[in-house]
Structure 1
């Protein structure tokens, strides 16, 4: 099964395109707030608006895009989001070069880019089954999710490092390049998608969304997990936004050190990937899920313990993100 997946060139190219866009999109979750903090001396509220603008589309777009994609080819949509995402990011360095960039424009770019990311993430999941044999589907999804989990933890830190090395415009330009390269890679996928049925009416789409919501909410385990995930994601983004402001404006660390502390969370992710299966076998699925989420949720408590730009501060913050990456990956 695994050997067939490794030999599937179309899936490998699709996988590579997803790696490129995931790294670019998740690194922007650090770059955009840092741009607001450093370039515009934004208040914590303004930085929060920038961060929220990237995630609010998930609450709106994903309700409709899944039903919409059920009736349309997925590859053209992914190509559109890759090209449009790259062009949206290019707006920032172009306007900066013209000295026309302001925080209101950053809000708009963050919201538009976040909408494209939300569409692409749903579309990628829907596109995967058309690229692999049914017996390889679980392995294919696993490979995509493994990369996604690692990128979620590590890429924001990469954004901080890019800000330090290349500046704000340079970091965004790098993200745009990743998106446009991903589009070129996706163009090389040759396997045809199965035919799709005709689009449904608007009323039918709304009824299908409602039916899907009723189904999810009628299953106690899924209902609990959805509520938990919503709470965790909300406070996770609040924590990361406040961390950016606290580290850069209050404590005064450089974007490079800030990015390094977050990137080290990837070490925790790798440890979590190794430990997850053995932990589940030893303690059971339910206990491991609860314990790992507790670790990921507790880890940020260490951050405010450090208040000065010293090696000890960087160490404490790094430990916090290692624990966070470990818990999140196991979960």
Structure 2
């Protein structure tokens, strides 16, 4: 049997978390440039076909299928801050090397795909560590506010990252890679100052690896609210990634936008995410969490329907309509993420945070990879406009299923409580 010794908790303020928050902001900025920069490099710099551009996007997330479950077990057994720092530093070196190859004219599709795959593996490791650190660093009772701050950083970088990726690519492909490398290097330097002030000794367990590995999945299976959230995030990410991948191609090839304009559209749309992150903690006191989850993810799921309705022939109209769409989408998704992440952190013990994060990351991000591949299949079989409409329909159907399941779960919980 495993024995877990809990270190005495000491009162802490926001200092340690805020230092971590700064570091994570640099890493999130790098990640946002990376997510948009790789597909744009494939489409504009290397002139790859639609299916190859979709494959480039998918390769960023395929490692989540393999690395993330293992990462959850590692994160619950090692020093989490140092693990995240190492992943930042290695990603910086990897992207620096790719930038040097691009500058020398030696960046080919296989080299780009190899870089994308390795960066995706490190992203998977870092993302699990990042989520697991929140309960350790946030002051008591401050988990929702901590998640809101991280989402605020992500939202701001969503404004800056796509625009920066498009603008840098307009000058040179290697500048995109150099910018990402620099941001990861800054993240690694800043996290050096972070200390975990309150540490519940994690399950540095003598339990067999396989049994420990499955603990996160068992916990989700036994907690109905968590598996409903897991199902929704998986389906949403699948169709969302298909929409975004198809929209970039649709905007470039049918609507006549440049890569810089696509970056500006995605960045302008993320303004809604900034607002959502700022106001999300206040919603919990105004309405029940169930209502907030349904309304917020409903907004994020329905608004993309406007994208396939954008007419050709007017660049200004295309940019305005798509920016408004992504703005409302970003607002809803961010509010949903703040509250769903908080539920996960509050329901699970600290020694399971890494493995619980791994379960959600494995399912959610592997569905992103599959969604990007699905986008490639649709783009080859149908027009880009029709393909986006199909992906939007998937978003709406998954939202309807989530609403039904979550409402039923909460109703059953109330009946059980009265009984």
TM-score, with length taken from structure 2: 0.70
Report which stretch shifted further, 244-253 or 140-149: 140-149
> Residues 82 and 275 from structure 1, CA distance in 2 versus in 1: closer, same or farther, beyond 3 angstroms?
closer
Residue among 277, 293, 296 paired with 1:289 = 293
| 1:175-195 C-alpha deviation (Å, 9 max, x unpaired) | 101111221222233568859
Measure how far apart 1:136 and its partner are. Answer: 4.7
Distance across 1 between alignment mates of 2:258 and 2:161? 17
Residues 1:97 and 2:103 are matched in the alignment: yes
Residues 1:189 and 2:194 are matched in the alignment: yes
Aligned partners of 1:162 and 1:171 also within 8 Å: yes
Residues 1:241 and 2:237 are matched in the alignment: no
| 1:59-109 C-alpha deviation (Å, 9 max, x unpaired) | 322212121122211222122111111011112221123322111111111
Measure how far apart 1:271 and its partner are. Answer: 3.4
> Residues 205 and 155 from structure 1, CA distance in 2 versus in 1: closer, same or farther, beyond 3 angstroms?
farther
Residues 1:161 and 2:167 are matched in the alignment: yes
Residues 1:27 and 2:33 are matched in the alignment: yes
* Cross-structure match for 1:176: 181
Measure how far apart 1:270 and its partner are. Answer: 3.3
Aligned partners of 2:148 and 2:280 also within 8 Å: no
Gaps of 5+ in 1: none
Residues 1:224 and 2:228 are matched in the alignment: yes
Number of residue pairs the alignment of both structures matches: 325
* Cross-structure match for 1:270: 274
Measure how far apart 1:45 and its partner are. Answer: 1.2
Residue among 57, 66, 74 paired with 1:68 = 74
Say which structure, 1 or 2, has more relative contact order (CA 8 Å, 6+ apart).
Answer: 2
Aligned partners of 1:73 and 1:196 also within 8 Å: no
Q: Secondary structure at the match of 2:114?
A: helix
Q: Secondary structure at the match of 2:172?
A: helix
* Cross-structure match for 2:45: 39
Aligned partners of 2:26 and 2:183 also within 8 Å: yes
> Residues 80 and 264 from structure 1, CA distance in 2 versus in 1: closer, same or farther, beyond 3 angstroms?
same
Report which stretch shifted further, 316-325 or 137-146: 137-146
Aligned partners of 2:84 and 2:129 also within 8 Å: yes
Residues 1:313 and 2:327 are matched in the alignment: no
